[in-house]
């Protein structure tokens, strides 16, 4: 059985959904150093990354690869010490490993929060939040508080809230879609729930026009979800290699690709042992 897997190297990317020119996000030679002098820690160095509008990119790496730093830069929570970060969306939405819902608000009010913060009127935001809860199949739980929901349901409420945040400026349909940053959002869930949520995320991403940057250390998750998998090295983090996941791959393709990426990841990790 021969399997052809398209691989591209950094600096030679082709956007999987062509036709739109401005990228959803672009990093050019981005570096980030924490502290200064002898105590300085280089988290990222020379990172080049382009995320096309509506593209699903997975960042894969072991501990210390600066995944979270990279997301913070994209979210605008931090400034790079070198290079440029350009993001098309006015404010990317972020989803964390924990649902981070406000425990005193019901599910629907949690989803409304980003709309409320950007000044959307009460009835408009109530309607939008209802639609989003519908999208994550939680319309029946709108008035429950987070502690009355299971872990997977909470993370779906968080997903609905993040989706609300991608479209919160009122000028949603300018054709570019938003940017959704996800920091290992399913890592704390049990295997069955994680599996279900991965399928749900794929479905929801397909239904909308948001670009997703998804961080994980799970190769299988990366191959299953992403259109493109970007492998990062550790300490300092930089792009090692990228793989494009074929749209219509079979289970066997996926297994081969997973194996190949895992091998490369192991190689990257083992270089640290020799230092």
Partner 1 sequence: MPGSELLSDPGTDGHAAGGGSARDSAAVGAGLDALDTPTTRRRPLWSRVLRTGVPPLVALVATLAVWQLLWSAAIWSEYKLPAPLSVWHEFTKVVASGEIWGIVWTSVHRALLGFAASVVIATPLGLLVAKVRVVRAAIGPLLAGMQSLPSVAWVPAAVLWFGLTDATIYFVVLLGAVPSIANGLVAGIEQVPPILPRVGCVMGAGRIDSARLILLPAALPGYLAGCKQGWAFSWRSLMAAEIIAVSPQLGTGLGAYLKEGSDFNSMPGVIAAIFLILLVGIGIELLAFRPVERRILRSRGLAVTT
**Residue 157 CA neighbour count, 13 Å, CB half:** 31
- Contact indicator for 59, 232 with CB cutoff of 8 Å: yes
Q: Measure CA 118 to chain center.
A: 22
Q: How far is the CB of 11 from partner 1 (least distance, A)?
A: 28
Q: What contacts 84, CB < 8 A, 6 or more positions away?
A: 26, 27, 28, 29, 30
Binder of partner 1 out of 142, 196, 217, 244 (CB under 8 A): 196
Residue with tokens 């929570």: 77
Cis ω for the linkage preceding 172 (within 30 of 0)? no
Binding partner 1 by CB under 8 A: which of 33, 42, 81, 91?
91
Chosen residue from 176, 198, 216, 233 binding partner 1 by CB under 8 A: 198
Told to check if 255 binds partner 1 by CB under 8 A, we report yes
60-79: which residues touch partner 1 (CB under 8 A)?
75, 77
- Specify the residue, 45 or 227, whose C-beta has the smaller distance to partner 1: 227
Q: Is the dihedral of CA 205, 211, 217, 220 positive or negative?
A: positive
Among residues 118, 139, 172, 262, the one that binds partner 1 under rule CB under 8 A = 118
Give the Cα separation of 247 and 198 in Å (integer).
16
Name the residue nearer to partner 1 (CB basis): 141 or 238: 141
Closest approach of partner 1 to the CB of residue 75, in Å? 6
DSSP E strand boundaries for 68-143 = 82-87, 93-95
Among candidate residues 178, 213, 22, 164, the one with its CA nearest the CA of residue 90: 178
Using the minimum distance from each CB to partner 1, give the nearer residue, 70 or 240. Answer: 70
Q: Is residue 113 within the footprint of partner 1 (CB under 8 A)? A: yes
Number of alpha carbons in the 13 Å side-chain half-sphere of residue 123: 0
- The answer to whether residue 151 forms part of the interface with partner 1 (CB under 8 A) is yes
Answer yes or no whether residue 134 interacts with partner 1 by CB under 8 A: no
Q: Quick one: which segment of 27-35, 45-53, 194-202, 210-218 binds partner 1 (CB under 8 A)?
A: 194-202
For binding to partner 1 (CB under 8 A), which residues are involved?
75, 77, 91-94, 96, 98, 100, 102-104, 113-114, 116-118, 137, 141, 145-153, 165, 168, 192-193, 195-196, 198-200, 202-203, 206, 220, 224, 248-252, 254-255, 258
């Amino acid at each position: 059985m021969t399997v052809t897997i398209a691989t591209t190297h950094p600096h030679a990317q082709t956007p999987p959904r062509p036709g739109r020119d401005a990228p959803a996000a672009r990093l050019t030679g981005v570096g980030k150093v924490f502290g200064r002098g002898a105590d300085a820690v280089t988290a990222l160095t020379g990172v080049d990354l382009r995320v096309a509008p509506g593209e699903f990119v997975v960042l894969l790496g072991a501990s210390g690869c600066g995944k979270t730093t990279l997301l913070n830069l994209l979210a605008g929570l931090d400034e790079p010490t070198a290079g440029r970060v350009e993001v098309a969306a006015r404010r990317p939405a972020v989803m964390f490993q924990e649902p981070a819902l406000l425990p005193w608000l019901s599910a629907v009010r949690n989803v409304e929060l980003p709309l409320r913060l950007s000044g959307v009127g009460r009835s408009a935001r109530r309607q939008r939040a209802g639609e989003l809860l519908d999208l994550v199949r939680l319309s029946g739980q709108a008035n429950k508080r987070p502690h009355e929901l299971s872990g997977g349901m909470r993370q779906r409420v968080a997903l609905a809230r993040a989706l609300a945040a991608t479209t919160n400026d009122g000028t949603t349909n300018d054709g570019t879609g938003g940017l959704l940053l996800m920091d290992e959002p399913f890592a704390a869930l049990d295997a069955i729930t994680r599996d279900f949520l991965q399928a749900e995320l794929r479905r929801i991403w397909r239904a909308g026009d948001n670009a997703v940057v998804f961080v994980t250390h799970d190769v299988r998750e990366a191959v299953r979800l992403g259109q493109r998998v970007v492998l990062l090295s550790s300490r300092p983090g930089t792009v090692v290699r990228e793989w494009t996941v074929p749209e219509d791959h079979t289970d066997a393709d996926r297994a081969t690709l997973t194996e190949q990426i895992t091998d490369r990841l192991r190689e990257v990790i083992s270089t640290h042992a020799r230092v």
